[in-house]
Amino acid sequence: MTNYEFEHSVVGPASVEAVWALWSDVGRWVEWDEGVESVTLSGPFATGSRGEMVIKGQGAIPFELTSVEEGVGFVDETSVEGALLRFSHRVEQVAEGVRVTHSVVIEGPAAAFLGPVVTADLPDAVEALVKLAS
């Protein structure tokens, strides 16, 4: 099976609580991820909840929160034709404030094609998240 992996971290003067507040309020994802038009979640921000993300120019994509650890991070998964996309989000306190890390693992025959497309704006999104949380 083809895999694609990408990870990006940003350190900034924010708090873990501020980052978590932005993550756990999915309606606010549009404030830090320019590629997202809207996000909805059916249920609480907890493992097993499902939602829908509308990507600009691509339409709606369903996702599931497969792991949520409050104040630490979460993982969401999306299945599309030819690939499973797993997005991991972690936050940790460091001397300068926080380190926020977003990583993506894509499995399946479409991984090599989707990887660069899906992760192209990820560094900008993580930078914007940390700035908004500061």
Per-residue pLDDT reduced to its tens digit, 105-132 = 999 999 999 999 999 999 999 999 999 9
Structure tokens at 23: 């993550």
Domain around 114: 3-133
Is pLDDT of 1 > 80?
A: no
CA 74 from centre of chain: 8
Per-residue pLDDT reduced to its tens digit, 62-121 = 999 999 999 999 999 999 999 999 999 999 999 999 999 999 999 999 999 999 999 999
Q: Are 80 and 61 spatial neighbours (Cβ–Cβ below 8 Å)?
A: yes
Domain of 27, CATH number, reads: 3.30.530.20
CA 90 from centre of chain: 9
Number of domains, the chain: 1
Residue with tokens 């990583």: 103
CA 54 from centre of chain: 13
Q: Which residues pair with 51 in a beta bridge?
A: 41, 63
pLDDT at 97: 97
**Rounded (10°) CA dihedral 107, 104, 47, 80:** -40
pLDDT at 59: 84
Per-residue pLDDT reduced to its tens digit, 45-60 = 999 999 999 999 888 9
pTM: 0.94
Strand, coil or helix: 19: helix
pLDDT at 58: 87
Is pLDDT of 19 > 70?
A: yes
